[in-house]
């Protein structure tokens, strides 16, 4: 066992982990942050996306020990200080960017990173950015609309599928 210390959603945490413990498992099993979903364990689906030191990371591909000393942000840390949904989460709700909800945390975390780097992305830029996130329910149409809305853009420009 090794000790790991990190700041998760603004709170300092530490715990003992085996060397093989994935960051996704540490977040879910040790810290109880179950919003980070585990869908494939192969880096294909994107349901486990978190931010590590400001970078998008599929947490099923990173060992918890690799995040030692890092700042980690998860879906649980995305809400506003008063507990209300942030602009991206609200846009997903308003524009029906979710159905079963399994991919939603990863989609929201990816969207947050995209909008940080590109505050006014085009529809094609959004679709390209989300290539590493799979959704089996929505067909992406409403997810793209939600991200456009969160960026303050007109959602009527999204082509019907």
Read off the pLDDT of residues 135-160 as tens digits, 9 standing for 90 and up: 988 778 999 999 999 999 988 877 66
pLDDT score, position 42:
83
Residue 97 has pLDDT above 80, yes or no: yes
Residue 161 has pLDDT above 60, yes or no: no
Domain 2-76 classification at class level: alpha beta
Region 104-117: mean pLDDT is: 97
At residue 53's C-alpha, the angle toward residues 111 and 18, to 5°, is: 110
Q: What is d(CA 52, CA 66) in angstroms, rounded to the nearest whole number?
A: 10
pLDDT score, position 159:
67
Q: Give the burial string for 26-42 (b: 16+ CB within 10 Å, else e).
A: bbbebbebebbbbbeee
pLDDT score, position 103:
93
Residue 150: enclosing H or E segment and its boundaries?
A: helix 141-150
Q: What is the pLDDT of residues 26-48, one digit of tens each?
A: 999 999 999 999 988 788 899 99
Region 90-107: mean pLDDT is: 94
| CA distance readout (Å), 154 to 86, 112, 147, 148 | 19, 18, 10, 7
Mean pLDDT over the full length of the chain: 94
What count of other Cβ atoms lies within 10 Å of the Cβ of residue 160?
4
Segments of the chain assigned to CATH 1.10.150.120: 87-150
pLDDT score, position 136:
86
Q: What is the pLDDT of residues 43-77, one digit of tens each?
A: 889 999 999 999 999 999 999 999 999 999 999 99
pTM: 0.93
Provide the strand spans (E) within the chain: 2-8, 11-17, 49-52, 55-58, 71-73
Segments of the chain assigned to CATH 3.10.20.30: 2-76
Domain 87-150 classification at class level: mainly alpha
Query: How much of the chain, in percent, has pLDDT values that exceed 70?
Result: 98
């Amino acid at each position: 066992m090794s000790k790991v210390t990190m700041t998760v959603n603004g709170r300092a945490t530490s715990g003992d982990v085996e060397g093989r413990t994935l960051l996704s498992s540490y977040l879910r099993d040790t810290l109880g942050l179950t919003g980070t979903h585990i869908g494939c364990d192969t880096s294909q689906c994107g349901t486990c996306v978190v931010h590590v030191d400001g970078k998008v990371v599929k947490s099923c591909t990173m060992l918890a020990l690799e995040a030692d000393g890092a700042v980690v942000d998860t879906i649980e840390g995305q809400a506003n200080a008063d507990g209300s949904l942030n602009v991206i989460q609200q846009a997903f709700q308003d524009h029906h960017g979710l159905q079963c909800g399994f991919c939603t945390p990863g989609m929201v975390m990816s969207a947050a990173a995209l909008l940080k780097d590109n505050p006014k992305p085009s529809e094609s830029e959004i679709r390209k950015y989300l290539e590493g996130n799979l959704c089996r329910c929505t067909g992406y149409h409403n997810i793209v609309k939600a991200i456009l809305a969160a960026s303050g853009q007109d959602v009527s420009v999204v082509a019907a599928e």
